[in-house]
């Protein structure tokens, strides 16, 4: 075990608080990051695996997420259901999430219950049992989850189809939850393969945040995870996205009352955090467009022109793969999607040709700085950000110095980023064409509680 670096950094002048961070790698390659925060006698513990939907192959999309579900289904020493039960009995909250880039498991508990969390996580990292029977049941649950979150949500369908359009080759084109037909033909063996492939200590990071002592956390980690052997990980081949060479446009039909517009431009993500400038500029650009209730999209499209009832911009600079800069909007009654799209393009053109004002830039920066302080109110979110950064290949230092990098962005940087990246040839547009909801029949009140099966 070698200590890479540990440092203390006062995040903000005038604060009574300093963020202390420890970053250590165990002999088996598992990384341990400890973030001290002594505001309350609690801690959050998260295990991040560097394996997400991006690592899947066609035919088994969704397997990263299905495996996440199976991770609660038991080991030889911890029978099915027992993991959740033990955490609950200790007063803990636990869950997991799968993203495109990673899969993460977490427990939030009183600070002195960290050992339980580590013991159980280490056990299921190495000894998971995936039975055919439990797999079959859980797969049904996952299909219900897909129906709930995607099939019956028109805007989610638009998002899913737009991703599949904007990315042509890169695996980001596939939904994290998987295509329904892949789920229908998935087997327990697919899940076992995935587990054997990626669930190794040298592909994982433990992030612990809270009222803890870093030396004790590292000692505990060494005790519980240290004995698990490192394994050879599959080679990750670079998966580039060929440059888009012309605008793409799709129409999605779904039962809905209102149309909806989603636009996405290919954009870079943060790779060399010290030298890159464009991702920070794009982040500020998103703030100028929709960072507050007076930002450009809201002010122009919703309030002044009243073409939209909602409009917002989004961009995430932290990702393993290539990024997207997105704008979505719902047209106001009687306004067309086409008119709305035209107005959005006009707003962007205005920034590309005339730039942004100093007041706008300062306003967005004030929000960035304040938000950085506000985030420290949430222990979970602080751990979450650390996990995201390191799981996408960025050092914790990139997170700690993010505000400083955002502060350095100039109005010219923002204009240049808009000119360079928000170009027609990189754009994909999806439009929701609402299909009439069938009129609801009269209410049929059936007296009596026993309805017929």
Partner 1 sequence: MSIKRFFAVLVLILAAPVQAGVDIQHWQTPEGARVFFVESHELPILDISVDFRAGSARDPVDKSGLARLTHALLDQGAGGLSDTEIAHRLADVGAVLGGNFDRDRAGVTLRTLSSMAEKTAALDTLVRVLQQPDFPLAVMQRERRRLISSIREAEADPGTVAEKAFYRALYADHPYARDENGVPGNLEKLTRNDVSAFYRAHYGAPNAVISLIGAISRSEAEAIATRLAEGLPAAASLADLPLPVAATASTVRFAHPSTQSHVLMGAVGVARSDPDYFPLFVGNYALGGGGFDSRLMREVRDKRGFAYSAYSYFLPMLQAGPFQLGLQTKLEQTDEAMEVARSTLQQFIAEGPSEAELVQAKANLTGGFPLRIDSNKKILEYLAVIGFYNLPLDYLETWTDKVNAVDTAAVRQAFARHLDPERLVTVVVGAEGAR
Q: Tally Cβ neighbours within 10 Å of residue 77.
A: 10
C-alpha distances (whole Å) from 292 to each of 260, 326, 363, 406, 412 are 21, 16, 9, 17, 21
Q: What angle do CA 272, 275, 280 make, to 5 degrees?
A: 85
Distance, C-alpha 66 to centroid of its chain:
17
Using rule CB under 8 A, residue 357 touches partner 1: no
Using rule CB under 8 A, residue 207 touches partner 1: no
CB 174 within 8 A of CB 61: yes
The one catalytic residue in 68, 94, 347, 388 is 68
> In b/e form, how buried is each residue of 355-394, taking b as 16+ CB within 10 angstroms?
bbeeebbebbbeebeeeeeeebeebeebbbbbbbbbbbeb
Sheet with 204-210, side-by-side order of all strands: 2-9, 19-25, 31-36, 204-210, 42-49, 103-110, 93-98
Using rule CB under 8 A, residue 42 touches partner 1: yes
Here the tokens at position 330 are: 């719902």
Query: Alpha-carbon distance 206 to 46, whole Å?
Result: 6
What minimum distance in Å lies between the beta carbon of 445 and partner 1? 5
Pick 59 or 255: Cβ nearer partner 1: 255
Using rule CB under 8 A, residue 40 touches partner 1: yes
Using rule CB under 8 A, residue 107 touches partner 1: no
Strands of 199-335 (E only): list them.
Answer: 204-210, 248-255, 260-267, 308-315, 323-331
Using rule CB under 8 A, residue 41 touches partner 1: yes
Residues 6+ apart with CB under 8 A from 135: 70, 73, 187, 188, 191
Query: Alpha-carbon distance 146 to 186, whole Å?
Result: 14
Q: Binding residue for partner 1 (CB under 8 A) from 109, 162, 390, 414?
A: 109
Q: Binding residue for partner 1 (CB under 8 A) from 23, 55, 68, 138?
A: 138
Using rule CB under 8 A, residue 410 touches partner 1: no
Using rule CB under 8 A, residue 78 touches partner 1: no
Residues 6+ apart with CB under 8 A from 421: 265, 266, 267, 268, 278, 282, 325
Instruction: Please identify, among the stretches 80-88, 233-241, 320-328, 383-391, the one whose residues bind partner 1 according to the rule CB under 8 A.
Output: 80-88
Instruction: Please identify, among the stretches 1-9, 19-27, 270-278, 329-337, the one whose residues bind partner 1 according to the rule CB under 8 A.
Output: 329-337
Q: Binding residue for partner 1 (CB under 8 A) from 4, 15, 342, 412?
A: 15
CB 288 within 8 A of CB 361: yes
145 catalytic per annotation = no
Using rule CB under 8 A, residue 84 touches partner 1: yes
Using rule CB under 8 A, residue 330 touches partner 1: yes
Q: Binding residue for partner 1 (CB under 8 A) from 320, 363, 402, 426?
A: 363
Pick 146 or 170: Cβ nearer partner 1: 146
Pick 64 or 109: Cβ nearer partner 1: 109
Pick 93 or 223: Cβ nearer partner 1: 93
Using rule CB under 8 A, residue 404 touches partner 1: no
Using rule CB under 8 A, residue 373 touches partner 1: yes
Using rule CB under 8 A, residue 20 touches partner 1: no
Establish how many alpha carbons lie within 13 A of residue 219's alpha carbon, considering only the half-sphere containing its beta carbon: 5
Q: Binding residue for partner 1 (CB under 8 A) from 4, 346, 366, 408?
A: 366
Q: Binding residue for partner 1 (CB under 8 A) from 77, 306, 336, 353?
A: 306
Q: Binding residue for partner 1 (CB under 8 A) from 119, 151, 420, 433?
A: 151
Footprint (CB under 8 A) of partner 1, residues 234-273: 254-258
Query: Known catalytic residues?
Result: 68
């Amino acid at each position: 075990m070698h200590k890479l670096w540990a440092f203390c950094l006062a995040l903000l002048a005038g604060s009574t608080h300093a963020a202390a961070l420890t970053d250590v790698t165990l002999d088996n390659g598992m990384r341990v990051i400890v973030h001290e925060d002594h505001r309350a006698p609690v801690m959050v513990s998260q295990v991040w695996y560097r394996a997400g939907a991006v690592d899947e192959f066609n035919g088994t999309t969704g397997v990263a997420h299905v495996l996440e579900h199976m991770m609660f289904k038991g080991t030889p020493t911890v029978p099915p259901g027992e993991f959740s039960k033990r955490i609950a009995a200790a007063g803990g909250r636990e869950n997991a999430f799968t993203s495109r880039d990673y899969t993460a498991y977490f427990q939030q508990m009183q600070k002195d219950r960290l050992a339980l969390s580590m013991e159980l996580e280490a056990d299921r990292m190495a000894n998971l049992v995936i039975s055919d029977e439990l797999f079959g049941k859980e797969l049904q649950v996952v299909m219900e989850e897909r129906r709930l979150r995607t099939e019956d949500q028109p805007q989610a369908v638009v998002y899913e189809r737009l991703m599949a359009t904007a990315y042509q080759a890169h695996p980001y084109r596939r939904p994290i939850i998987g295509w329904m037909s892949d789920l229908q033909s998935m087997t327990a063996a697919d899940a076992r393969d995935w587990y054997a492939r990626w669930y190794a200590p040298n592909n994982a990071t433990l992030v612990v945040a809270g009222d803890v002592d870093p030396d004790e956390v590292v000692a505990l980690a060494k005790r519980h995870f240290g004995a698990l052997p490192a394994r050879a990980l599959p080679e990750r081949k670079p998966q580039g996205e060929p440059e888009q060479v012309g605008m793409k446009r799709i129409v999605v039909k779904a039962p809905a009352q209102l149309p909806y517009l989603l636009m996405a431009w290919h954009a870079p993500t943060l790779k060399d955090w010290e030298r890159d400038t464009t991702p920070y500029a794009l982040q500020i650009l998103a703030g100028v467009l929709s960072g507050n209730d007076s930002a450009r999209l809201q002010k122009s499209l919703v309030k002044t022109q009243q073409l939209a009832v909602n409009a917002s911009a989004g961009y995430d600079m932290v990702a393993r793969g290539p990024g997207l800069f997105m704008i979505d909007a719902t047209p106001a009654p009687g306004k067309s999607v086409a008119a709305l799209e035209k107005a959005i393009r006009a707003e962007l053109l205005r920034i590309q040709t005339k730039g942004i004002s100093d007041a706008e830039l300062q306003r967005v920066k004030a929000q960035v700085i304040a938000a950085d302080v506000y985030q420290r109110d949430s222990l979970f979110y602080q751990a979450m950000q650390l996990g995201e950064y390191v799981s996408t290949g960025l050092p914790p230092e990139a997170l700690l110095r993010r505000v400083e990098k955002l502060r350095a962005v100039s109005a010219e940087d923002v204009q240049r980023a808009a000119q360079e990246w928000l170009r027609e040839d990189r754009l994909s547009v999806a439009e929701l064409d609402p299909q009439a909801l069938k009129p609801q029949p009269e209410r049929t009140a059936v007296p009596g509680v026993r309805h017929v099966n």
